[in-house]
Amino acid sequence: LTIELNKLKIRFATEVGRVAKRRVDQRVEPAKKAAQILHKKLLGCVQSQTGVDAERRMVTANQTHCRNDKGLVIIK
């Protein structure tokens, strides 16, 4: 009887563990997917903007002001 009870406890714990893991996976997967998409977009921005930013810096280095991405004038 004790051995059977222990087997049932182990089976129950295993099943509870599976359910808990499934719930955690369901909550983690959307965040993981969003992080992967964000990483891909940021990587694309960093790789494509390198030359453009360097050219902008060279052009605006001699100017007294420039516009940022929000349209504001920045005085240097």
Please write the tens of the pLDDT for every residue from 22-49: 898 899 999 999 999 999 999 888 877 6
What integer pLDDT is reported at residue 73 of this predicted model? 53
Q: In terms of residue numbers, what domain contains 9? A: 2-75
What integer pLDDT is reported at residue 48 of this predicted model? 72
Instruction: Answer whether residue 62 shows pLDDT above 70.
Output: no
Domain count, the chain: 1
Q: How many CA atoms lie within 13 A of 40 on its CB side?
A: 6
> What letter represents residue 19's amino acid?
V
Task: Report DSSP letters for 10-71, one per residue.
Answer: HHHHHHHHHHHHHHHHHHHHHHHHHHHHHHHHHHHHHHHHHHHHHHHHHHHTTSSEEE-TTS
Taking the whole predicted model, whether its pTM rises above 0.75 is answered as no
